[in-house]
Structure 1
Amino acid sequence: MTSATLALPGDDAETRVYNKVFWRIVPFLMLCYVVAYLDRVNVGFAKLQMGQDLGFSETVFGLGAGVFFIGYFLFELPSNLLMHKIGARIWIARIMITWGLMSAAFIFVKTPTQFYVMRFLLGLAEAGFYPGVILYLTYWFPAHRRGKIVAVFMSAIPVAGIFGNPLSGWIMDRFHDVYGMNGWQWMFILEALPALLVGIAVIMVLDNSIAKAKWLSDDEKRFLASEVAADVQHTKQGPHSVSAVFKDGRVWWMCLIYFCFVMGQYALTFWLPTLVKSTGITGNLNIGLLSAIPFICAIIAMNLFGRSADAKRERRWHLIIPALMGAIGFTVAASYTQNTVVAIAFLSLAAAGTLTCAPLFWSLPTAFLSGTGAAAGIAVINSVGNLAGFVSPYLIGYLKDLTHSTQIGMYVLAGMLVLGAFAVWRTPAALVNR
């Protein structure tokens, strides 16, 4: 179907319809993910006070940060299948409200065991949000438009870092000892409130499908539905049932690629404040402000690569290049931990490369997954890949305790990104370039 069949004035009707859908749902979903990511990784900033107050070692902190992804892994697939059945509006709202309550409850943590349990429960609460949104976007946008769309959505990660790190530092300094509570406790309370409020807003803003969107005309609904239907027809070579997903070798190959990229992503987001502090920076607010610089670079790179990938309909090299950028960034930053300028510059390169990989990666599996197969496949890939969120912070923490340096851990991360780039290169271009 072409834009001419829309019965709308002008030659750019198709662009206007997609812009209308974009502005209705993508900025709001991005806001949701900013809130989600802030509550997921603010434990990295809490560590600057929490570890000292509670006597947690680097290994305890790394294990606690990673345990989140065990709960996430266990409930990811059922959560995505439930969203596909119940609808995004109610299910995403449930996820956000639940994780807001869990995040606020961190003020009661006193022991390593309590820390592990709360991180596990937070993972259970949040499971399904990210893959649910990726699935939801396939309901509205065909594959050749999703690179840019997912890149914009995932800009929430650097946005959370740009604003969240200075905010977390300011809260911890400003509210320390207010009403007898530590700064990190206030941070968990205040940063949990947006999840509760936005969760309620989800019920009023999101529609479960094109057919239920009252803000679209009948012509616009028919056009969008035909575009998505044509896209689903194109993905008929992919698995269309839950059991078929587990038997498809391509799905497990995607799991390997995503695992490598997530290793770098979560090492960066959990440990960046610590890495910045190790260069000699003092003061939580100063650490937060400097930690924002790599995320500013990342948000620029993510959107440039996303637009280019869609325009050229090429996916592999648009993933390989950022992965290698991340590897170089981690390697050089690890070698110059005592030089703040050099360390920040190459951590910025690492952030730009590593965080760019995540949104562009999803153009690969969604090119051959659709329907129930997409709901299951996206959940499986995301849950297995996110086990790296457990391995990565725990490994960095363990190696830091063992060697009293983050250098070896960062070299390992660089190696994982190179492995991910190689796996993308070995993926057939005909499968994913759409």
Structure 2
Amino acid sequence: MDNKTDVQINNIVTNSDNKLFRKINWKILPIIWFCFILNYLDKSNISFAQLEMKQHLGFNDVVFGLAASALYIGLILFEVPSNIILSKVGIRKTILRIMILWGSCTVAMCFVTTPELFYILRFLTGVFEAGFAPGILYYLSLWYPDNRRAQAVAIFYTATSVARIIAGPLAASLMTGLDGLWGLRGWQWLFIGEGLPCLLFAVLAYYILSDSPDQAKWLTNQEKQRVQELVNKDGKVEHHFEKRHLIELISDVRIWICGLIGFLILQATLGLTFWQPALLKTLGLTIKEIGWYSSIPALCGVIASIIIARHSDATGERCWHFVITAFIGALGLFLANISIHSIWLTLACLTITWIGIASAYALTWAMPGQVLVGKHAATGYAILTVMQGCAGIIGPIVIAYLKTSSGNYSSSLYFMGGSCVMAAILCIVFYRMRTVSSRKQLS
């Protein structure tokens, strides 16, 4: 009888918690999701803009590789300082500052005429965007306990896949539909059209979001306490910055392995993001066709990443979910080498690739929960993002060099596929390092 009563009570508590987190999901995830879509579009819009800028401004592949890397140099230099500020002023003011500045810089890209100005504006875009993604990850750690966080993070990161779906058609529409309007080229309208909405969403996020559960007016006092209770089970999140936390974080080998895993997966992800339109152009497609065809693999990546992350949460298994998806991504990249002259076979291989790497990248952000428990999570996530951000510097340059030296994308595809394989191997190493009884917490 007692066992039956305990089961009933547990079911009631579980149902109540599910209802509470559905309420939280609908309140905070949509706005940060839309903001992240804009963030991704601003990072990747030069991949489509280059299709016209090369011709109109005379820029080559190396120029675009350096410009793509310049953004991540800015990100790396200012990622940690931005998140230290976040922990002091809160997410609302941070998003307001970041989005207004990066949106303005994106609009200013329409005035680019020289490689030097191109590099400067891309660098400044990175400086202004610094702290956004790790800031949101820290923010989610305030709202979600570990056993619910992977799905929340996966939903957040589906924004990048959705952005890939709409990036092509949107870029094609702006570049072909507005070309010549007010004397501006299509690529100039691309930057204007993707920069201005950032200003609007900056204001919306400021008024819709709450800095933490205890400040949410839309939660009852009982709901606030319950959220805090569940989150604190994984270790109390500290909001202030201490130098010793930074030293402890960078001296933990697991942080470095987490960062390297994310670096390798992001290297493949960013490489494919920046060069996929150019790769498709080699098949004789128009800008409009490239835009629409690019959305097919991305759509499959969105669906797969949600399903796989949900299954990972339900089973509590992380390692093999990541390993298998990383190998799937590598397989798609390797197979693309033998289908690079066929449009439909190439699209099939790109679809396999995005299913793998989109799912794997979402799962990389479930791993830090094994390390960043109970300590200065904002700084920890910023450090990991800095490590991963190095992929944005190295990847585009290496791929541009490989493409220029070989005259095709074959070696680049092998390079990205190899990165996925190495990430899978490191993931196995990371999870073997965990203690059997419990997670080791930094203190």
- TM-score norm. by structure 1 comes to 0.94
| Cα 1:171–1:68 shift into 2, 3 Å | same
Deviates more, 1:338-347 or 1:239-248: 239-248
Counterpart Cα distance in 1 of 2:317 and 2:376: 23
Map of 1:53 onto structure 2: 56
Map of 1:266 onto structure 2: 270
| Cα 1:240–1:49 shift into 2, 3 Å | same
Counterpart Cα distance in 1 of 2:14 and 2:231: 21
Quick one: which amino acid aligns to residue 49 of structure 2?
A
Map of 1:245 onto structure 2: 249
| Cα 1:206–1:5 shift into 2, 3 Å | farther
Report the CA distance between 1:368 and its aligned residue: 2.0
Residues 332, 352 of structure 2: 8 Å contact kept: yes
Report the CA distance between 1:371 and its aligned residue: 5.1
Counterpart Cα distance in 1 of 2:164 and 2:205: 23
1:15 aligns with 2:57: no
Counterpart Cα distance in 1 of 2:361 and 2:343: 27
Residues 237, 376 of structure 2: 8 Å contact kept: no
- SS of corresponding position for 1:232: coil
Report the CA distance between 1:425 and its aligned residue: 0.9
Map of 2:157 onto structure 1: 154
Select 1:176's aligned residue among 149, 174, 179.
Answer: 179
- SS of corresponding position for 1:386: helix
Post-superposition Cα deviations, 1:291-337, rounded to whole Å, max 9, x if no partner, equal 00010010011001100110010111111111111111111112211
Counterpart Cα distance in 1 of 2:345 and 2:72: 32
1:277 aligns with 2:281: yes
Counterpart Cα distance in 1 of 2:173 and 2:184: 15
Counterpart Cα distance in 2 of 1:211 and 1:331: 49
Report the CA distance between 1:196 and its aligned residue: 0.6
- Structure 2: gaps spanning 5 or more residues: 1-5
Select 1:357's aligned residue among 356, 360, 378.
Answer: 360
| Cα 1:431–1:204 shift into 2, 3 Å | farther
Residues 41, 194 of structure 2: 8 Å contact kept: yes
Report the CA distance between 1:360 and its aligned residue: 0.7
Select 2:81's aligned residue among 70, 78, 83.
Answer: 78
Match runs of 1:160-199 below 5 Å: 160-199=163-202
Report the CA distance between 1:234 and its aligned residue: 11
- Structure 1: gaps spanning 5 or more residues: none
Counterpart Cα distance in 2 of 1:415 and 1:285: 31
Quick one: which amino acid aligns to residue 249 of structure 1?
V
Quick one: which amino acid aligns to residue 88 of structure 2?
K
Counterpart Cα distance in 2 of 1:4 and 1:234: 31
- SS of corresponding position for 2:313: helix
Residues 280, 338 of structure 1: 8 Å contact kept: no
Report the CA distance between 1:240 and its aligned residue: 7.3
Select 2:391's aligned residue among 388, 391, 401.
Answer: 388
Counterpart Cα distance in 2 of 1:95 and 1:259: 23
1:143 aligns with 2:146: yes
Residues 80, 131 of structure 1: 8 Å contact kept: yes
- SS of corresponding position for 1:335: coil
- SS of corresponding position for 1:409: helix
Report the CA distance between 1:222 and its aligned residue: 0.8
1:376 aligns with 2:382: no
Counterpart Cα distance in 2 of 1:363 and 1:348: 24
Residues 240, 374 of structure 1: 8 Å contact kept: no
1:41 aligns with 2:44: yes
- SS of corresponding position for 2:430: coil
Counterpart Cα distance in 1 of 2:85 and 2:8: 37
Counterpart Cα distance in 1 of 2:236 and 2:140: 17
Map of 1:24 onto structure 2: 27
Map of 1:254 onto structure 2: 258
| Cα 1:342–1:102 shift into 2, 3 Å | same
Counterpart Cα distance in 2 of 1:20 and 1:3: 24
Select 1:205's aligned residue among 208, 213, 228.
Answer: 208
Counterpart Cα distance in 2 of 1:18 and 1:402: 52
Quick one: which amino acid aligns to residue 102 of structure 1?
C
Report the CA distance between 1:372 and its aligned residue: 4.9
Report the CA distance between 1:39 and its aligned residue: 0.9
Report the CA distance between 1:385 and its aligned residue: 1.1
CA RMSD across the alignment: 2.2
Residues 240, 369 of structure 1: 8 Å contact kept: no
Select 1:294's aligned residue among 284, 292, 297.
Answer: 297
| Cα 1:247–1:191 shift into 2, 3 Å | same
Report the CA distance between 1:280 and its aligned residue: 2.1
Number of aligned positions between the proteins: 428
Counterpart Cα distance in 2 of 1:110 and 1:373: 43
Report the CA distance between 1:188 and its aligned residue: 0.3
Counterpart Cα distance in 2 of 1:178 and 1:88: 38
Counterpart Cα distance in 1 of 2:361 and 2:87: 22
- SS of corresponding position for 1:215: coil
Report the CA distance between 1:3 and its aligned residue: 12
Quick one: which amino acid aligns to residue 329 of structure 1?
G
Counterpart Cα distance in 1 of 2:253 and 2:133: 23
Match runs of 1:323-334 below 5 Å: 323-334=326-337
Q: Equivalent pairs: percent with the same residue?
A: 37
Residues 234, 374 of structure 2: 8 Å contact kept: no
| Cα 1:431–1:95 shift into 2, 3 Å | farther
Report the CA distance between 1:431 and its aligned residue: 5.8
Report the CA distance between 1:226 and its aligned residue: 0.5
Residues 261, 423 of structure 2: 8 Å contact kept: yes
Quick one: which amino acid aligns to residue 199 of structure 1?
A
Quick one: which amino acid aligns to residue 39 of structure 1?
D
1:108 aligns with 2:111: yes
